[in-house]
Structure 1
Amino acid sequence: MPKSIGRERGKPVALGRVVKPHGTGGVLRISPFNPESDAFLHLKTLLLRSPRTGKQRELEVREARRHKDCFLVKLDGIDSIEDADEVRGWDALAYPDELEPLEEDEYYYYELEGMMVRLESGRLVGRLKGFIRTAAHDIAVIEGDEGEFMVPWLDSTVVDIDRERGVVVIDSESAVVRSE
């Protein structure tokens, strides 16, 4: 059987958003969705996508460094303040095969999306649709038969994540808030 040329890169994962240019040489100031992650420091390519139009550009990373609460990233093809300003507000994404491996008890949110969500009692709540970032804490969005629900994503509400079975267990029905 012939070997496949190339590789399956997977669906790009949103890591942050371009806030503004930094200086005049085309460096981007990117605010990470996960401030604790150093993912930008290890990427070879970065995908920029306009949330408004869907237009995207895949560019090689020349340099990346942490700066205060964000990352300063220099990409091939963005060489001026005008170029950088064109992608202001765009999402910064990476392919899963470029993300750093995590410890056994760590995970990327995209790995959990689609998992079933159950209460400790065993009752099925729905399927994990995605996450919303807030200043206080992240919120899991769950889609169930009765509509969409939200759960604070905290150590106190998330009891277990079973990747093999594809199930997230949350502590109690009181943790579930119906979305209006």
Structure 2
Amino acid sequence: MNSQKGGRVAVGRVARPHGLKGEVRVQPFLSNRDLLRHIPRFFLSREGPERLIPERVREAPGGRDLLFFFQGVTSYEEAEALRGRVLYAETADFPPPEEGEFYYFQLEGLPVREESGRLLGRVVGVMPVGPYDLLEVETPEGRSFYLPLVEEVVLSVNLQEGYLLVRPSPGLIEVQLGEDRE
């Protein structure tokens, strides 16, 4: 099944203090940044106990960042100590996705299969690159290639059975792996 179930995922980075009273600017790693507003606690490492409880969240001026006040962070100096720190969230703290939707962290580790049933590899990450995101897929031989995360290529995401069904454009994978077409 899914290797990420029940763990922590990186959801943002503290960019810098905002003002003098402990507020910090957070750069979200999630395509839906508003999810950060619903997460009740953040951790400062993937496994450690150090955590931050949000008291208030608001829009940052001029961009896609959010401004957070965390419990116990009440001065510029305390906010400055968080600069550059990655924020992690427990996957259990995410609100359940809508029917037919998924979180990117749920895709990591899932097998990627063509319609013929041929295993292409496993998802190792998702990269936002512009108008669509890219799935990074690692082959059984340890090489990587990318597939656009669009309906024409990713036909279905089956979280229950744990796999992605894809229809890559002819030659798309071979070109990336430097293989001759047959």
Answer yes or no: same fold by TM over 0.5.
yes
CA root-mean-square deviation: 2.5
Aligned counterpart, 1:138: 133
Secondary structure in 2 matching 1:97: helix
Amino acid at match of 1:167: Y
Q: Which of 111, 115, 136 in structure 2 is aligned with 1:120?
A: 115
Amino acid at match of 2:177: R
Q: Which of 142, 166, 172 in structure 2 is aligned with 1:170?
A: 166
Aligned counterpart, 1:48: 44
Q: CA deviation at 1:39?
A: 1.6
C-alpha change, 1:78 and 1:56, in structure 2 (3 Å) is farther
Aligned counterpart, 2:74: 79
Secondary structure in 1 matching 2:36: helix
Partner Cα separation in structure 1 for residue 177 and residue 133 of structure 2: 16
Secondary structure in 2 matching 1:82: helix
Q: Any idea what the Cα deviations from partners look like across 1:113-168, whole Å, max 9, x if unmatched?
A: 11110122322101111222324432212121232222222233211111122110
Q: Which of 85, 109, 126 in structure 2 is aligned with 1:90?
A: 85
Amino acid at match of 2:159: R
Secondary structure in 2 matching 1:38: helix
Contact 1:26 1:81 in 2 (8 A): yes
More strand by share: 1
Aligned counterpart, 2:102: 107
Q: Any idea what the Cα deviations from partners look like across 1:31-80, whole Å, max 9, x if unmatched?
A: 11224342221222111249xxx987311111112334111111123222
Partner Cα separation in structure 1 for residue 91 and residue 42 of structure 2: 11
TM-score by length of 1: 0.81
Aligned counterpart, 1:150: 146
Gaps of 5+ in 1: 1-8
C-alpha change, 1:174 and 1:81, in structure 2 (3 Å) is farther
Amino acid at match of 2:50: R
Partner Cα separation in structure 2 for residue 74 and residue 151 of structure 1: 38
Aligned counterpart, 1:64: 57
Gaps of 5+ in 2: none
Greater shift in the superposed pair: 68-77 or 108-117: 68-77
User: How many residue pairs get matched?
Assistant: 168
C-alpha change, 1:116 and 1:78, in structure 2 (3 Å) is same
Partner Cα separation in structure 2 for residue 55 and residue 34 of structure 1: 22
